[in-house]
Amino acid sequence: MISIAILGAGGHGRVVAEAARLSGWRSVVLFDDDPCKHGEFKNWTVAGDTQEMLNLADQFEAVHVAIGSNKIRAEKYHLFERFNIANIIHPSSIVSHSVHLGSGTCVLAYSVLAADAAVGNGVILNNGSTIDHDCTVDNFVHICPGVNLAGGVVIGQGSFIGVGSSVIEGVTVGYDALVGAGSVVVEDIPSSSKAYGNPCRLIQD
């Protein structure tokens, strides 16, 4: 592994870039749409914006989109589908050999992916998260730091599971749902809803 271009120089992007270096990428170049971050930014080289990364992408062995927003990450991911979109797996994480990983997913420090879990494209499995056996995590989900999914959990596309939350076995969280930080999810959460608490309850807008 020689060179990778990463879109996103915010906090999440720099965490992913560090994981890329630690996992063996020798050259890591960041791109970001905020011109204030271009040049040398917090010890990283930021070489331009999305369009410049598209123009230069074939000069890199792989690309990765490291943007925390699920919606924006999905939009940017689709721009780069003709290139090699790499997964980035921190060397301290544990990933079962039977796990199915899509592309453009990051598995960050001290995360665990257990037997026969399936993880889609552009997923963030943040620091210290655990995904137990037979879970399904769909495309462009963000599993925040310290989240624990018990066996057989299903997380729908584009959903966000807040920091420190737990989901009991067999529960389904629909697509584009938001589960607030520190929640204990003991029953299914509908799509396009917000829920929070212990036990987790729907929030009415």
Q: Look up the pTM and report it.
A: 0.96
Q: Is 104 exposed, middle or buried (0-12, 13-18, 19+ CB in 10 A)?
A: buried
Contacts of residue 111, Cβ cutoff 8 Å, sequence gap at least 6: 90, 93, 94, 125, 126, 127, 128, 129, 130, 131
According to the model, what pLDDT value does residue 204 have?
81
Q: Report residue 160 as tokens.
A: 């966000």
Percentage of the chain with pLDDT > 70? 100
Mean pLDDT of 71-97: 98
According to the model, what pLDDT value does residue 41 have?
94
pLDDT tens string 30-71: 999 999 999 999 999 999 999 999 999 999 999 999 999 999
Query: What average pLDDT is seen over the chain?
Result: 97
Please write down the HEC assignment for all residues of 120-148: CCCCEECCCCEECCCCEECCCCEECCCCE
According to the model, what pLDDT value does residue 205 have?
67
Contacts of residue 154, Cβ cutoff 8 Å, sequence gap at least 6: 135, 136, 138, 171, 172, 173
Q: Which residue has the tokens 């797996």?
A: 89
| Buried b / exposed e along 138-166 (16+ C-beta atoms within 10 A) | bbbbbbbbbbbbbbbbbbbbbbbbbbbbb
Q: Report residue 80 as tokens.
A: 């780069």
Percentage of the chain with pLDDT > 90? 98
Q: Which residue has the tokens 């999914």?
A: 149
Alpha-helical runs (H) found in the chain: 11-22, 50-56, 70-79
What Cα–Cα distance (Å) separates residue 186 from each residue in 117, 153, 158, 166?
20, 11, 20, 9
In whole angstroms, give the CA distance from residue 63 to residue 78: 12
What Cα–Cα distance (Å) separates residue 177 from each residue in 161, 190, 202?
8, 7, 10
According to the model, what pLDDT value does residue 1 have?
79
Q: Name all domains of the chain by residue range, CATH numbers in brackets.
A: 3-79 (3.40.50.20), 87-200 (2.160.10.10)
**Would the pLDDT of 170 be above 70?**
yes
Alpha-helical runs (H) found in 80-195: none
Which residues lie across from 7 on neighbouring strands? 31, 65
